[in-house]
Amino acid sequence: MLTLIGLYACFYSFRFASSSTLTAPPLSALVVAFESIYDLSLLANTLSDQGIDTTLIIPTHTANDIYNKLIDVEVLQLDVNIDKSMSADEHALEACNIFFKDEEILKKVQKFQPTFIIFPALRHDGCLLPFAKHIESIPVIWIKNPDEELYAFECTRVALPVHSGGFWSRLSTSFTGKTIFSTVKNDYLTPALRLTTKYLLDINIDLEHLYSDVRLVLWGGDTVLRSDFASLTELLVEVGCHHCRGAYPLPENLQKSLVEYRTGTIVALLEENYEILIQELAKKLPQGREGQALVWKSKRNTNVAPENLFIDEDVDRQDIIGYSRTRVVLSHCTDTEFLEAAFHRTPLICLPRDAHESRNAARAVELGFARSIKTTNDHFASVMEIAQIINEIYETVAYRENARKVSVAIRDRLNPPSDRLVYWLGYIARTKDDTDKFHKPKSQARTLTEDIQFFVGLLVGIIIGIVCTGSAVVARYLVTANKVQIAKGRYMQ
């Protein structure tokens, strides 16, 4: 009798667990990256590391840009033709066309049947949102830089941009967002949807409701980096430092070489076209056992290099940034480089290439753990300036102390980004068929400030109108009176 009761209790518990909404189905993810290859490959690696079966799709010509320590991530490559004269929108359209033409990849994806398809909104949505609906997967949007944020927020309504500058600055930012959306819509989105209708005949594509199935948006930034928007839903999830971890020991040969230089190590995360600058900088650094080593993460192979310059393409970026003897990092201050250096409390020297990196550099300088310089064609002058800054950072305790405070701000949180990432993906999977969307943002969000600004503007307009009208009446009266006076004078004569 006790045995029967036990079996019945087990059977009942099994039925209860099976019907529970908290029971997560097996998860799988397809990450598609026509651009931002490195950052999205990092995301794919994090998903795989968290037990989610992950596949990554990239163009063939970007294969060298992926994270070189991928674990259990299947990488599928699209044979996209490279033409440097093509714009980013044209590249994206070509990648979309090749994606739909590649029957082998499509068969693998349909066999894989991913729970999620994760991709950027900008220059991906017109191709992949209809495809996600076609294979009945959950679309998840990933955003990184400010342009992608403005575009994604305009499409999804998950957040409102916050403008902190003056009137003209706010007007410029608002105009920029509208311009980005309008340009992408005309140059990419409309042609992409037209292209998609040729291949997905079973999907009714409506531009107005293109984002109706999107519930989760992953923000690849961090509030330490920037906070210029107000979230309208919990389903805008901050995952900027999802891959950040403690530093692992360096390869034995590199470790032995770096220990020989007692003053520490400088790390360079720059491209091959900075080779002359890096070699000259290595010569300017203190030499010998009491000097400094320079580690350059690069695939460049050169036989002529200073003794204190070590070139390694395989070492993990976080391991050399977080290396205990690293004194400063030279980088362009992309979002990911900024967050990794901040996480490992390592001061930065930023060499920005565009407006986004300049904003990051300015933020790092504001936080007190970085310096920013503009490189010129005169490599000697740039090298001298960088060498002076390295010496200043090395001798000034404040830089490392400020870096430590920023690191604490990133680490000291209720839960890490990787946990938030996995939880919300699981939540979306569990509630996929729910008709009630509890975290859905308002389609049209407005604030009291906008109403106040409207009425203030209306009041100011009325006052200006009254003043202008009164001035016109007075001016007309004076002109008429003057004419009458002149006429009387003539008559009297």
What's the pLDDT tens digit per position in 291-308?
A: 999 999 998 777 778 899
Contacts with 244 (C-beta within 8 Å, 6 or more apart), sequence order = 318, 339, 340, 343, 410, 417
Query: Structural domain boundaries of the chain?
Result: 22-240, 252-411
Task: Please state which of the ranges 246-250, 271-275, 455-459 shows the lowest mean pLDDT.
Answer: 455-459
Q: Say if residues 308 and 294 touch (Cβ distance below 8 Å).
A: yes
* Residues present in the chain in total: 493
Rounded-to-integer distance, Cα 222 and Cα 488, Å: 79
According to the model, what pLDDT value does residue 3 have?
56
Better pLDDT: 181 or 211:
211
Predicted local confidence at residue 288, as pLDDT: 87
- pLDDT of residue 445 exceeding 70, the answer is no
**Mean pLDDT of all residues in 461-466:** 92
CA–CA dist 337, 328 (Å, integer):
13
- Measure the CA dihedral 256/259/264/268, to 10°: 0
pLDDT surpasses 90 at 366? yes
Q: What percent of the chain has pLDDT over 90?
A: 58
* Strand partners for 261: none
What is the CATH class of 22-240? alpha beta
Per-residue pLDDT reduced to its tens digit, 375-409: 776 666 688 999 999 999 999 999 999 999 999 99
pLDDT category, 268, cuts 50, 70, 90?
Answer: very high
Q: Is the pLDDT of residue 332 over 90?
A: yes
Phi, psi for 136 (deg, rounded to 5): 60, 45
Q: What is the CATH number of domain 252-411?
A: 3.40.50.2000
Q: How far is residue 470's CA from residue 463's CA, in Å, rounded to a whole number?
A: 10
Helix (H, G, I), strand (E, B) or coil at 298: coil
Lowest mean pLDDT among 129-133, 425-429, 438-442, 457-461: 438-442
**Can you give the pLDDT at residue 334?**
94
Q: What strands lie across the sheet with 236-238, from one edge to the other? A: 73-78, 53-59, 28-32, 116-120, 138-143, 216-219, 236-238
What the block records as the tokens of 58 is 């990239």
Please give the pLDDT value at position 349. 96
Beta bridge partners of 229: 161
What are 390's two structure tokens? 């390295």
pLDDT of residue 192: 92
- pLDDT computed for residue 32 by the predictor: 96
Position 18 scores a pLDDT of 42
* Mean pLDDT, the chain, whole residue set: 86
pLDDT in tens, 65-80: 999 899 999 999 999 8
Strand partners of residue 267: 295, 329
What are the pLDDT digits (tens) for 9-33? 554 444 444 444 455 668 999 999 9
In contact, 418 and 50? CB cutoff 8 Å: yes
Structure confidence at residue 323 as a pLDDT band (50, 70, 90): very high
